[in-house]
């Protein structure tokens, strides 16, 4: 069965938990909050989750990761630098004025050049630092009539880009990541971001004010 991607906005920051389904199995990206709503999305996907991945270690993306690990029986995979963020979830919670989640440690690491399979679909792992040092994106090339797709985390949004005013953020590095890693992707690539509406690479190339240079990050 062709690749399908589902999203649910969860938690106070309305982070998009993301489910990729193909050929009878699934990957869950960013178990951020409201586990019951994520479970409903898994039911809609109708396939067992084979891998559990964080695009980066900010609290809104991993807030119920410990529960996901326990209930799915899977390790949480992320970039090696994500370990530092996971070790400081309590500090992140204080910064956002949110309850501290259960502690969680990474169970596996992913980096630039790795691939992640769901059924016959392979996502290419792209390291895209800037919003955070550990930010990852996941690109699935087109297959037949199915367009290319990108699970984008908090790197590129519809009409915007990820914030860089958190610890570890770097606006220049973010724009290099977008320019060198995302803008070379096909225009028809569907982008499933960590917040907000879906978009395409072509739309953002043409209309995103940070990509076109009409606006600059501070």
**Residue 121 buriedness (CB in 10 A; 0-12 / 13-18 / 19+):** buried
Q: What is the pLDDT of residue 118?
A: 98
Cα 47 from Cα 104, distance rounded (Å): 25
Q: Which CATH architecture has domain 4-212?
A: 4-Layer Sandwich (3.60)
Residue-wise pLDDT tens digits, 126-148:
999 999 999 999 999 999 999 99
Q: What is the pLDDT of residue 218?
A: 72
Q: What is the pLDDT of residue 188?
A: 99
Q: What is the pLDDT of residue 150?
A: 99
Cα 16 from Cα 92, distance rounded (Å): 19
Q: What is the pLDDT of residue 19?
A: 99
Low-confidence ranges of the chain (pLDDT < 50): none
Contacts of 123 (CB under 8 A, 6+ apart): 20, 27, 115, 116, 117, 138, 139, 140, 151
Q: What is the pLDDT of residue 15?
A: 98
Sign of the alpha-carbon torsion through 192, 39, 33, 114: negative
Q: What is the pLDDT of residue 17?
A: 99
Q: What is the pLDDT of residue 217?
A: 86
Q: What is the pLDDT of residue 98?
A: 86
Residue-wise pLDDT tens digits, 154-185:
999 999 999 999 999 999 999 999 999 999 99
Q: What is the pLDDT of residue 58?
A: 97
């Amino acid at each position: 069965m062709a690749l399908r991607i589902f999203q649910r906005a969860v938690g106070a920051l309305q982070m998009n938990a993301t489910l990729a389904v193909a050929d009878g199995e699934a990957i869950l990206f960013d178990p951020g909050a409201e586990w019951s709503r994520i479970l409903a999305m898994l039911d809609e996907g109708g396939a067992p989750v084979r891998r559990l991945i964080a695009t980066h270690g900010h609290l809104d993306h991993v807030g119920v990761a410990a529960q996901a690990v326990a209930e799915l029986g899977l390790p949480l995979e992320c970039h090696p630098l994500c370990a530092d963020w996971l070790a400081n979830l309590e500090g992140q919670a204080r910064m956002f004025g949110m309850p501290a989640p259960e502690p969680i440690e990474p169970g596996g690491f992913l980096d630039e050049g790795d691939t992640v399979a769901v059924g016959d679909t392979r996502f290419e792992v792209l390291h895209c630092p800037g919003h955070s040092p550990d930010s990852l994106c996941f690109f699935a090339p087109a297959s037949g009539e199915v367009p290319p797709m990108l699970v984008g985390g908090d790197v590129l949004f519809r009409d915007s880009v990820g914030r860089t005013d958190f610890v570890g953020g770097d606006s220049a590095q973010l724009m290099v990541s977008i320019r060198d890693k995302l803008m070379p992707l096909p225009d028809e690539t569907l982008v499933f971001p960590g917040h907000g509406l879906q978009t395409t690479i072509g739309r953002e190339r043409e209309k995103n004010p940070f990509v076109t240079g009409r606006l600059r990050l501070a």
